[in-house]
Amino acid sequence: MSNPIDPYAAELPPAQRDGRLGVGVISAGRVGAVLGAALRNAGHQLVGVHAVSEASRDRAESLLPEAPVLEIPEILRRAELVLLAVPDDALPPLVSGLAEAGHFQPGQLIIHTSGRYGVGVLTPAEQAGAITLAIHPAMTFTGMSLDLDRLSACAFGVTADETVLPVAQALAVEMGGEPVVIAEEDRGLYHAALAHASNHLNILSAQASQLLTGIGVDQPERVLGPLMRASLDNALASGESALTGPVARGDIGTVQHHLELLADPQLPADLRAAYSAMARAATQRALDRGLISEDTAAALLDVLP
């Protein structure tokens, strides 16, 4: 079977590329609407979008104005490439239901954007003759046009059968990103790593902002922004070696004082729990990197609940 997408197509202007496809987007959530627009910008034609909620219809109108809003079976009837951008838990029953109803077509490209799953979840579509790909953008989305610019610095976790892996990689490049091949059996850990980094960073930021607001700092983002950006840059460049602060210095009294303050019943309980959990992890990492001694690590762990 020849690849339906030329792996070098992204090097040409959209109008000059071979293998342009009719694309259907299910659904117009934050990810689906943006990736649909990215595929359109790569020269593909949008033949339909599924949008149920008012928010998704607004996104479709803003980012995919040329695409008619259609029911899912009609999108599958029209599209050569179907983008399934639905929540993780909704993906397996959706695929199974569509397969049982006979909506998948032989040779049709069926792509999901879930980080959790590889192509195994698309087996019912593959059994119907479809070509199945998992392409997950490692990015947080707002569902607005500014996300299109962010794709240029975005990695895409791609999983596919070896024979069609170049197709998944080419599509990631066409959308502006960099494909990173993830083995089927590694998708769960891949997704856990991204969720841990992105979502928990958000919570840490919110918790720190809450503490600063509570002591009268009107714009906590002005205090935290430069610090957190520098910390993230250093951590990505140097890993645990960039660790600073009371744990890395072995300042046991400071850590204990923080915990005493965070035990204030007027503060949310999750603040102290999160601080303690991350400090325990930081202690072990600092010990492993030789930043603190075994005795210091033991003393830190003794004060951490």
Residues 66 and 169 in one domain: yes
7: pLDDT strictly greater than 60:
no
pLDDT at 11 (0 to 100):
52
Choosing from 150, 182, 214, the residue where a domain stops is 182
Residues 13 and 92 in one domain: yes
Contact yes or no for 190/182 (Cβ under 8 A): yes
Mind listing the pLDDT tens digit for each residue in 195-210? 999 999 999 999 999 9
pLDDT at 18 (0 to 100):
63
State the CATH number of the domain containing residue 230.
Answer: 1.10.1040.20
Residues 243 and 262 in one domain: yes
Q: Is 122 exposed, middle or buried (0-12, 13-18, 19+ CB in 10 A)?
A: buried
Q: What is the DSSP letter of 68?
A: P
In a domain, 4, yes or no: no
Indicate the range of 6-10, 48-52, 143-147, 270-274 predicted with least confidence: 6-10
Containing structural domain, residue 48? 9-182
1: pLDDT strictly greater than 50:
no
In the chain, % helix, strand, coil (3-state, to 5) comes to: 55, 10, 30
243: pLDDT strictly greater than 70:
yes
Choosing from 153, 182, 211, the residue where a domain stops is 182
Choosing from 124, 148, 182, the residue where a domain stops is 182
Mind listing the pLDDT tens digit for each residue in 21-57? 999 999 999 999 999 999 999 999 999 999 999 999 9
pTM of the model: 0.86
pLDDT at 106 (0 to 100):
97
Residues 203 and 99 in one domain: no
Confidence band for 153, pLDDT divided at 50, 70 and 90: confident
Residues 111 and 70 in one domain: yes
pLDDT at 182 (0 to 100):
98
Residues 25 and 63 in one domain: yes
In a domain, 1, yes or no: no
In a domain, 2, yes or no: no
Residues 177 and 204 in one domain: no
Contact yes or no for 118/134 (Cβ under 8 A): yes
Contact yes or no for 7/164 (Cβ under 8 A): no
Indicate the range of 95-99, 239-243, 277-281 predicted with least confidence: 239-243
- Per the structure, the count of domains in the chain is 2
3: pLDDT strictly greater than 80:
no
**CB atoms < 10 A from the CB of 145, how many?**
12
pLDDT at 2 (0 to 100):
40
Residues 97 and 245 in one domain: no
Structure tokens at 71: 């029911």
Residues 171 and 40 in one domain: yes
State the CATH number of the domain containing residue 126.
Answer: 3.40.50.720
Residues 172 and 221 in one domain: no
Residues 195 and 177 in one domain: no
